Chains A and B, each alone.
Chain A
């Protein structure tokens, strides 16, 4: 199985070589066998006696992550869709994309996608699943941006990426929480711990996180906004990723986790509600679209909503209908996308308003489209597979699970009605799509080229899909027990019993009545569509979720600008005040919280008058330095502070320190004076009084803080001062009574030596600098 999954990835490595090998042959031909072989490999598993199958490969043992593949009915359904539709899409693209395009990259992205999608549906390990999940987003991003350099493509690509990857991250959070709770990373092992998970206090969080991931990926309301913009991708990509497979990953996820999360009222409420709202809203929005692919995009969203709602219902009929519809939707929607691509290819436009009467020019395509559209609309005829699953949907919508609660009861009442209304709109846009494109008046002047039937090769893929529509329609039980029942079992659990799918349930069947209402009302609305235009456009574009997305992205960027402008001024003055300010706040806050300051004045020595005088002088000098505009005087004033300090040292009987301080101070002042000769005049920069007062506050606050710290640290002395050791040991160790001298030349003799060396080197360096300068001036 691992070979089947990795085959597309391996082939991508060969694509660059293959495309160079025989330039005349379309690259697509070389790689077409890969998905076909995968399809053949997996189709062998289909059968009534199918049992789940798993393979395991060790990967990151320390994190308990291994590549586990688990093939059950659900994965099998998806795997066959991915490889089957994949083969058809590649075949179709051979005719759709000309050899002059950048085929190499197109196929590389496409096969990376195929690889990651296979990985998503087969992984049993949640983290491996997540990894593949993100890869699908990434390849979708690359494919959306593949064709155009337009602003819209960029917008669409970034938007789809941001929304799906955001969802992916949320899913990731959910998966991590799940694995932390269950202490396993295997989905199958998690299913066995359902009770633990459901009763855990974090269950709501897990539910929301995982569903958020699924909803964003499967374009559920209100996250559906990325899908219409993703239609910038070449049509084969839209058919494959944005209709048949990738957007169904969210569906897959919900189905996969149904055994864990399902059966709970909260799961029912959230999933059904979002599903049904999506169904209604997207089908309603689809009617006002004018772009062929736009209609199909919204239609996809609404169909996904329908499947999602069925998964939310969670009854056995609903689950069966859901997996059935996944298959059906892939067939009819895939063919419709391909036809839309053909129309675009042959006429040069996808704008429905410019199209019309193409039936006469493209009879084959029109016939194929007819089947696709009628199946999508759910027309009750025995050769449209869409009808069966839609009828099962109605059937399940009437028979909802019996949870109690006011809101649940409201939902139970409302869902059948919303389902019917949504389906009516589906019917309307389906008819609109078909009749305005292929019937009606041919608008010659609107089209740049004269349309004609597509090349035969391009029609093969949609024909095969339509054949699927008809065959499943005629013999729905052909795929029932051998295939769909296994998928439904994987979602529902072992209690699932296969039903026979029948076309005719008799007039008494409420589902049939609902279908007939849909067709009846739908026909009327479709015929009189023009009169209702204002209803369809009643929701202004400004209130859409698109605007919300734009607003969020814009305001994040604006916020960023604002932050940047307000504090990243580039002025070191501001930086220093921010730094000191934040230190003040942080330290102050922590000292306050932890009661860190203890102030005791017990054992303080008395302060004498000379000390006060020196201290005052230093303070005055420090303050005076602020008001000086002249560098020279500034240095001298600051020097006063330094000299004051050395005087203090003298008072406190530390002559060596005083001496050092004196020398350092003198050297510094001298060096400053030397340097300042080369600097421009000091300008007194005007600053805002507000800024000044803030600076004032910061500096005063900082002074107070340091004072407090000083006093406080004095108040909490743990042990006797270090000096006593030196005083005691000075005579026995060094033989001298002058402690400072003993320390300098004896106890720390090596230190002194090195210090002298350092000073010597520094002096040499300064000498060299001065000499260099002299030499330059001499020249």
Chain B
């Protein structure tokens, strides 16, 4: 590959990634060598960087598909829309980091920032990866940064425990993913998704078993990332151990990246592979994913009932939500991708919002127990109402983004061919179960006396991410067509 070929690529399409990369490096340098007085403004640099990346990305709206470095990096509408979710979510999380009032971890601040950006970069590479290797590297960049972020509070036992569990589970997952990838490579002789898809589009013949092994093992490995039952065990421990913004990051960005890579790989390559005659290989494997989706919804929601630690509760609830998002993957309608995208977007707003409320209360009350919500309505009506909006959205009450998301998925499942009645039914029943724990928080907020007299105040900086998340949750709930039209 000579210099001409290198220069002929449209490197400008990678502007969002380069922005994040440069800002990340800049942050680490400033954090190391900068004056102490500068360090206060470092988070704003990070926010600015992500903001600029979003703007760059938005300029690419409607741009045709291109690929760089022989399909290693691809830009298509899929990459565009999902990168947008990653960037918006990270922006909200950075705002969350900035808003902190308790300064005890001030020394780690810079590290959180550039680790967040590094992880984000990994996620973006996953969204744009057109090659098994670049996908894997992106995923690992995301994972490794996450491991460190979870363990950054090294004096905290829970933090270390969480990081250790995350690392071990994550390594197992990585091993499986790679193992699976090696099978796909062995079968097709290429790591480029386009080539793999082409190789697989014909009849696989005696290669079928290998393809199946590759499929299952790779899916198992990636299922860790989206914490699907039975590979979800790390989730609650890690969320509990990490500082709240990091938990929010894992819950939203990391999970979204997991879904992105799954869609990219499995629809991209197995969606074309024929199996045993007529069906595609992916269609044959649907039952397997359906079982995982069923278990995930079931276990996630059921276990969430008994959690008293709010972060653990949200961890289980996020497991349940992962189960919902698996449904469009199974139902395979033309709108499945749109449904996944919309749900992830809605999920980003409502989950980060809920974590933000917890973060505010956690800093004031030094606790993560559900009792921090006790009598919140008397302490701070605004915060209680905001939390109600997020809970309503998570529960799927009309008027919120969560409802539209669930609605789309539900309709998709019923309208699919063959209709996934069992999954749709499970989703409905588990939604009812989830009402119990979401409404229980509302009961705590509205129908209990506060334990201590006094008010909970929202600082000005704290209100920024809250307002953005509320706007997103309500906006997508009342005017979903804005986002849906944007997607088309």
Using CB atoms and an 8 Å cutoff, list the residues of chain A in contact with chain B. Answer: 59-63, 105, 127, 130-132, 134-135, 138, 141-142, 145, 148-149, 153-154, 157-158, 161-162, 165-166, 169-170, 172-173, 176-177, 180, 553, 556-557, 559-561, 563-564, 567-568, 570, 572, 575-576, 578-579, 582-583, 586-587, 590-591, 594-598, 709, 712-713, 715-716, 718-719, 722
Please report the C-alpha to C-alpha distance between residue A59 and residue B482 in the assembled complex, in whole angstroms.
10
Sample 10 A-B pairs with CB under 8 A, ordered by A number.
Answer: A63-B484, A564-B306, A567-B233, A576-B168, A579-B172, A586-B288, A590-B212, A596-B209, A716-B209, A718-B189
Q: Which of A127, A559, A719 contacts B189 (CB 8 A)?
A: A719
Residue of A nearest to B444 (CB): A154
Contact status A568-B303, CB under 8 Å: yes
* Chain B residues within 8 Å of chain A by Cβ, number: 70
Q: Which of B164, B165, B432 contacts A166 (CB 8 A)?
A: B432
Render B103-142 as a binary contact track against A, CB cut-off 8 A, 1 for contact.
Answer: 0000000000000000000000000000000000000000
Q: CA–CA, A712 to B207, complex, Å? A: 10
B52 at interface by CB-CB < 8 Å: no
Chain B residues whose C-beta falls within 8 Å of the C-beta of A561 in the assembled complex: 306
From 42 to 59 in chain B, residues with beta carbon under 8 angstroms from any chain A beta carbon are: none
Determine if B485 and A62 form an interchain contact, defined as CB atoms under 8 angstroms apart: yes
**Which residue in chain A gives the minimum CB-CB distance to B295?**
A582
A367 shortest CB reach to chain B, Å: 37
Q: A559-B302, A586-B288, A590-B216 are in contact. Are A180 and B414 (CB under 8 A)?
A: yes
Give the docked Cα–Cα distance between A575 and B238 (Å).
Answer: 13
Tell me if A's interface is mostly helix, strand, loop or mixed: helix
- For B299, give its contact among A563, A587, A590 (CB under 8 Å): A563
**Known pairs A157-B447, A162-B439; A596 contacts B213 (CB<8 A):** yes
> What distance in Å separates the Cβ of B292 from its nearest Cβ neighbour in chain A?
8
User: Which of B169, B230, B431 has a CB less than 8 Å from the CB of A169?
Assistant: B431
Nearest first, the 7 A-B pairs at minimum CB distance are A131-B398, A145-B447, A582-B230, A560-B305, A596-B209, A575-B233, A716-B206
- Separation of A158 and B414 alpha carbons in the complex (Å): 30
Whether a CB of chain A sits under 8 angstroms from the CB of B210 is yes
Complex interface: chain A residues within 8 A of B234 (CB):
575
Report the separation of the CA atoms of residues A127 and B480 in the bound assembly, to the nearest whole angstrom. Answer: 14
Question: Per a CB cutoff under 8 Å, which of B209, B398, B443 touches A158?
Answer: B443
- Besides A572-B164, A575-B233, 20 other A-B contacts (C-beta < 8 A): A59-B481, A131-B398, A135-B398, A161-B439, A169-B428, A176-B411, A560-B306, A564-B303, A570-B237, A572-B168, A579-B172, A591-B213, A594-B209, A595-B209, A596-B209, A596-B212, A712-B209, A713-B210, A716-B206, A718-B210
Question: How many CB-defined contacts (below 8 Å) exist between A and B?
Answer: 172
Residues of chain B lying within 8 A (CB to CB) of residue A718: 187-189, 205-207, 210
**Minimal beta-carbon separation of B118 from chain A (angstroms):** 15
Interface residues of B in 277-336 (CB under 8 A from A): 284-285, 288, 299, 302-306
B233 and A61 contact, CB distance less than 8 A:
no
Q: Is the CB of B484 within 8 A of A62?
A: yes
Residues of A within 8 A of B446 (CB): 142, 145, 157
In the complex, what residues of A have CB within 8 A of residue B266's CB? Answer: none
In Å, the complex CA distance between A162 and B304 comes to 16
Q: With both chains docked as a complex, state the minimum distance between the C-beta of B179 and any C-beta of chain A, in angstroms.
A: 9
Q: Is the CB of A587 within 8 A of B216?
A: yes
Given known pairs A576-B172, A594-B212, A596-B212, the reply for A149 and B440 (CB within 8 Å) is no
Task: Knowing A61-B481, A131-B399, A180-B411, say if A709 contacts B213 (CB, 8 Å).
Answer: yes
Q: Which residues of A contact B284 (CB under 8 A)?
A: 594
Chain A nearest Cβ from B409, distance in angstroms: 11
B287 to chain A, nearest CB (A): 9
- The answer to the question of B25 belonging to the interface, with a C-beta cut-off of 8 Å to chain A, is no
Q: Does B217 contact A (CB under 8 A)?
A: yes
Taking CB atoms, residues of chain A closer than 8 Å to B433 are 556
Closest to B488 in A: A62
A598 x B233 contact (CB < 8 A): no
Is B435 among interface residues, defined by CB-CB distance under 8 A?
A: yes
> Complex: how many Å from CA A718 to CA B186?
8
B236 at the A/B interface (Cβ < 8 Å)?
yes
Q: Are A153 and B432 in contact (CB under 8 A)?
A: no
Residues of B within 8 A of A570 (CB): 237
Does B449 touch A at the CB level, under 8 Å?
Answer: yes
Contacts of B399 in A (CB 8 A): 131, 135
Distance to closest chain A CB from B288 (angstroms): 6
**Is B226 positioned at the interface, with any CB of A under 8 Å from its CB?**
no
Residue B370 lies at the interface, judged by CB distance under 8 Å to chain A: no
Contacts of B357 in A (CB 8 A): none
**Interchain CB contact under 8 A, A162 and B210:** no
A579 near B432 with CB under 8 A, answer no
Nearest residue (CB) in A for B220 is A583
Chain B residues within 8 Å of A172, by CB? 410, 428
List A contacts of B220 (CB < 8 A): 583, 586-587
Cβ of B481 and Cβ of A62 under 8 Å apart? yes
- In the complex, what's the smallest C-beta–C-beta distance from B484 to chain A, in angstroms? 5
Residue B21 interfacial (CB < 8 Å): no
User: Nearest A residue to B335 by beta-carbon distance?
Assistant: A62
Closest A residue to B397 using CB positions: A134
Structural contact, B302 and A154, CB atoms closer than 8 A: no
Q: With A572-B168, A590-B288 as given contacts, are A60 and B306 in contact (CB-CB < 8 Å)?
A: no
Find residues 394-418 in chain B having any chain A CB closer than 8 Å to their own CB.
397-399, 403-404, 407-408, 410-411, 414-415
CB pair B210–A716 under 8 Å, yes or no, is: yes
Asked if B189 contacts A722 (CB within 8 A), the reply is yes
CB distance B186 to A138 under 8 Å?
no
B20 in the interface, Cβ–Cβ < 8 Å?
A: no
Contact B411 A597 (CB under 8 A): no
Given contacts A563-B302, A713-B213, contact A149 B169 (CB under 8 A): no
A153 to B168, CA, bound (A): 46
By beta carbon, the residue of chain A nearest B176 is A583
**CB-CB nearest in chain A for B275:** A594
